[in-house]
Chain A
């Protein structure tokens, strides 16, 4: 069984897959990648049992059909060090893979493909299409708020909510919450009208997915089953398991804008830079800052246990009674980073309630930050 493939096609394919193949694996076979050649397609699959990525390279010869698994890291390192543009010959003899390129020759041990725990083709319950740009937007806007190794395991991921042609993403770690949505889903299949469908995508899958997405208008196809989420790119298929749990009711956490009595409008860059500056002197763990809101004027103060102190005076647009509130300054800066508008609104009811941050006249992203007692 022989075939050949250009290194310029193979290397990018391996590069996309190698990311999920971990060095330390519970099952030895997971350090291998599955190579499957059928119907004129050369497919490479890597998995860590959480995320699975398959890349497909079309072959000219459509008559070959076979599969095997081979150590991922070794194959990748070999390909990486070969000259660009050359043709790599694969030959499978007695469970050994013989690679030949120009004057080089490598023999790798393979494992049986049927023992590789890759996913069976998924029977999806619903599907939709979205542009890469839009998906990247909702991920970037929320992913930093996901919890990390929290005992509330359902927080260690990003909630996808599908409602008609809207895709909403929500992330929270219990101290702050990020919400964002796009309403540009197309080709809806099996998505019931006016019904909310929720799924929690694990943290690791989000990081991996974000790596694959680019800021283009290319349309990708997303399908969902009870236990998996699958995204089909042009030559790549990304599948992840889901977290089996219920996400808390986030709607109750987001304060209604019309109920907020204190509305502040500020210049995003100025506010962000001022807060980042004083954050230097805040305590490492809590990053507490005291914000004193006065007429068109904000004073932000931080202290640390070494008795050091920083203070910033910021011009804002605010009229109403004066009040003081404490926040974790890191959460504020994260939110201000993620908002794209030049002007941001901060809405609060009193000094014990959470703060809603969003772009001026734009509710496609919302951030809720809980106050701190200082």
Chain B
């Protein structure tokens, strides 16, 4: 049906109309207090690690700023924009917001298939920003990720960021605050979003249906995502877990089953060459897991870091791959620490090398031979 098709195109963060539990106090500080006083900083920089819900918060904030009749939500006791459960009563602003057609919201992000926000996009934004608002309220601009703006784009934004026209609020999102120009940072009120504590995240994950009995044990997910709740949830839903098991098994086999490192390298390399299946039904086909060279290096890195920790007599709760604790513990006694640290250096380089024009097969062979040679 036509309508259905279009609704699917609306990105979920436009329709996400609630707060994550760990954002409640921040919401009070950022929104509830300010909306009562009708006083809001003209530029906000939301900074925090990936997978913590910055984008959802920013869009909810934008919805709240544009909403024509914010009211107290009885569940949270917070002032919030019109609630979706009584969508029949939602104001015109919230209705347009949910349809992603709000005329006073401007969302700048990287163009499809590109990694930077070009200067022209920022110039168009500036031209838009000086026009009066359509619904007569505030105007909100969301730029994410802010570090994706190239230097020209950042510089052209400075003047607007410093002094936007009245009732215009600019929200920047970043998970690499240090990558922003200092001139951008200094013009924004920076909000550092901290990771929620593990207890509340575990509670949230189990509410989302993650159970200890399944392979998606909340504690494991949390450990693998270094505490970022949304990342942990995403991990439990996608194929990334299987990818991880496959990679780690292959890596360990070099040590435990004395597999030939060159053969293992080739197996892994062939995995990265699998093209995405065309029909969507084939996605579930386990034999055709999509693995990128980046994934292999990432999990290799994670494994090595754990081994280094274990050689330093660290306990189970300080490592990332807690489900492989036993095998890693045994392994850590059989390896040269010095060589592992050297390998870690090569791996750090490999992150950049795989982005370029390198022979990935040879890179894997080298890394795996080094890995084999770590044995005492």
Contact B130 A153 (CB under 8 A): yes
Q: Please tell me which stretch of A21-29, A207-215, A258-266 contacts chain B, meaning at least 4 of its Cβ atoms lie within 8 angstroms of it.
A: A21-29
A111-B6, A117-B103 known; A244-B134 Cβ under 8 A: no
Q: Which residues of A contact B159 (CB under 8 A)?
A: 151
B358 to chain A, nearest CB (A): 38
Is residue A115 within 8 Å, beta carbon to beta carbon, of the partner chain? yes
Chain B proximity mask over A157-194: 1 for CB below 8 Å, otherwise 0: 00000000000000000000000000000000000000
Q: How far is the CA of A95 from the CA of B132 in the complex (A)?
A: 33
Contact A228 B99 (CB under 8 A): no
Q: Is the interface of A mostly helix, strand, loop or mixed?
A: loop
* Chain B: CB-nearest residue to A95: B2
In this complex, the interface size class of chain B, counting residues with CB under 8 Å from chain A, is 20 to 34
Interface residues of A in 282-305 (CB under 8 A from B): none
Interface residues of A in 80-98 (CB under 8 A from B): 94-96
Contact A115 B96 (CB under 8 A): yes
Interface residues of A in 29-71 (CB under 8 A from B): 29-30, 49-50
In this complex, the interface size class of chain A, counting residues with CB under 8 Å from chain B, is 20 to 34
Is residue B131 within 8 Å, beta carbon to beta carbon, of the partner chain? yes
Is residue A202 within 8 Å, beta carbon to beta carbon, of the partner chain? yes
Contact B132 A242 (CB under 8 A): yes
Q: How far is the CA of A94 from the CA of B324 in the complex (A)?
A: 55
Q: Which residues of B contact A110 (CB under 8 A)?
A: 2
* Chain A: CB-nearest residue to B124: A26
Q: Which residues of B contact A30 (CB under 8 A)?
A: 101
Q: Which residues of B contact A156 (CB under 8 A)?
A: 127
Contact A94 B1 (CB under 8 A): yes
Contact A245 B165 (CB under 8 A): yes
A112-B3, A242-B132 known; A153-B103 Cβ under 8 A: no
A94-B1, A94-B2 known; A115-B99 Cβ under 8 A: yes
Q: How far is the CA of A28 from the CA of B5 in the complex (A)?
A: 13
Q: A244: which of B96, B101, B106, B165 is its contact (CB, 8 Å)? A: B165
Q: Which residues of B contact A109 (CB under 8 A)?
A: 2
Is residue B157 within 8 Å, beta carbon to beta carbon, of the partner chain? no
Contact A242 B100 (CB under 8 A): no
Q: Which residues of A contact B (CB under 8 A)?
A: 26-30, 49-50, 94-96, 109-112, 114-117, 119-120, 149, 151, 153-154, 156, 202, 226-228, 241-245
> A-B pairs with the 8 shortest C-beta distances?
A227-B132, A115-B99, A117-B103, A95-B2, A153-B130, A244-B165, A241-B131, A109-B2
Q: Which residues of B contact A (CB under 8 A)?
A: 1-3, 6, 9, 92, 95-96, 99-103, 106, 123, 126-128, 130-136, 159, 165-166
**Please, could you name 9 A-B residue pairs with CB atoms under 8 Å apart, sorted by A?**
A95-B1, A110-B2, A111-B2, A111-B3, A112-B99, A115-B99, A153-B127, A202-B131, A245-B130
